[in-house]
Structure 1
């Protein structure tokens, strides 16, 4: 869990996507996140976390479905949503926390 704390403790917003392998919604969301990454560049850090390989973290954060997206800034969660989110909404959210 301390590694997770290190990941989210940043002045740059950190977008975390919790995914599951072979999930069509996660695969669709991954394409959208790649587009967001291209647009935001160094103004946003993006991290993908596999729910099956990180069960303790998934339970601690009460993640019930994949994909689940979270934005952290300075170690605090500032936004969370489950399911698919469109590119323009994610860019707007990332810019709001810059």
Structure 2
């Protein structure tokens, strides 16, 4: 298991992990949406992208079967996960609802 990944997801700040693949069309659509989410929430959230082709072990640990899959962590706990693309406003609402912000 990747120790730096564990350090990141054990943050008190919510961490949204985007499991993606470079060949995936919906993943490319999600990129700009995630940037807007980060711009809106600023320091209240961390967003990291994990390339499933380069990190197959990590994808396997979290049972990522399809991309994009987003998983929200806080203090090392998985709070929420979903596969597919979401609108910016939906994503922000989920992040704020699920985390204790």
Q: 1:3: how far off?
A: 2.0
Report the counterpart of residue 6 of structure 1 in structure 2.
7
Task: Please tell me the root mean square deviation across aligned C-alpha atoms, in Å.
Answer: 0.8
Structure 1-normalised TM-score?
0.96
Q: Which runs of 5+ in 2 are unaligned?
A: none
Runs of 4+ more than 2 Å apart: none
Is the aligned partner of 1:28 residue 2:29? yes
Report the counterpart of residue 95 of structure 1 in structure 2.
96
Equivalent pairs counted in the alignment come to: 98
Separation (CA, whole Å) in 2 of partners of 1:70 and 1:15 = 6
Separation (CA, whole Å) in 2 of partners of 1:9 and 1:60 = 16
Structure 2-normalised TM-score?
0.93
Mapping of 1:3-82 within 5 angstroms?
3-82=4-83
Q: Which runs of 5+ in 1 are unaligned?
A: none
